[in-house]
Amino acid sequence: MKMVDIASNLQVIRDKIAAASVKRAAEYKHFEPCLVAVGKIHPAESIIRAYEAGQKHFGENYVNELEEKANNPEILEQCKEIHWHFIGHLQQNKVNKLLKIPNLYMVETVDSEKIATALNNSWPKFRGDVDTKLKIMVQVNTSREEAKSGCELENTSTMVKYILDQCPNLEFKGLMTIGEYGYDMSRGPNPDFVKLKECKEKVCNKLDLDVKEVELSMGMSTDFEHAIELGSSYVRVGTAIFGERPKK
């Protein structure tokens, strides 16, 4: 894609985010939604162009691809304030490789106590500052699809409690879901978004957490405006910014 395309696509998305933000209920007005640009399979050049257009937060689904991009000499040189979000399924044997990545900002897909423990135990080896915790989100399988990762809705409070009590090197930021693909918006509010919102309320009530401090990551290219209206803090948009993914 030409630079003008990515820059203008980003502006369209930002305008839509701003318009959706205005429609939010009063309880969500205390924060501005964050756009995470998903560069899956797109080249480093596209990341640089988006960064030059003012985009700072980027998401990647695969550890190997993220490692390659984050260590790309041009990205390291030209995108010094980039924030990388890992948004794919994380296997335990890839934890150290992920934590080595420069400018890693957040792991959004912690879906088990095993992965939380591995991240917690390994993080001290990689952080520069002794007081810096690793920002994480707990992924919830709101659609209950076997093919999707994430902890079960009813186990979310237990999972969050485990992280808060047993993982001092992790900073719990909130909940994330992928949800059902291609949901027809004419059927009403997306049930996956509604479930994640309700799940957040239950977790906050059960663990006595400030509801304003617990964030949500939900919404992609086709439904991010709707997700924002329902209180999403992070929206993960790829195709609407970078165009259709090139074939591997």
Task: Tell which residue, 209, 220, 118, 213, has the closest CA to residue 177.
Answer: 220
Judged against a pLDDT cut of 60, whether residue 119 lies above it is answered with yes
CATH of 6-242 among 2.60.40.10, 3.80.10.10, 3.20.20.10, 3.40.50.1370? 3.20.20.10
pLDDT recorded at residue 130: 65
pLDDT recorded at residue 2: 45
pLDDT digits (tens, 9 = 90+) for 175-226: 999 977 778 888 888 999 999 999 999 999 999 999 999 999 999 999 999 9
Specify the range with the lowest mean pLDDT, choosing from 104-108, 116-120, 147-151, 159-163: 147-151
Ranges of each domain in the chain: 6-242
Amino acid, res. 121: N
pLDDT recorded at residue 238: 95
Q: Which sign, positive or negative, has the C-alpha torsion 140, 145, 146, 147?
A: negative
Kindly indicate the confidence band of residue 1, based on its pLDDT and cuts at 50, 70 and 90: very low
Strands (DSSP E) found in the chain: 34-38, 57-60, 83-86, 104-110, 134-139, 170-176, 215-217, 234-237
| Cα(109)–Cα(87) distance, integer angstroms | 6
Structure tokens at 237: 């948009």
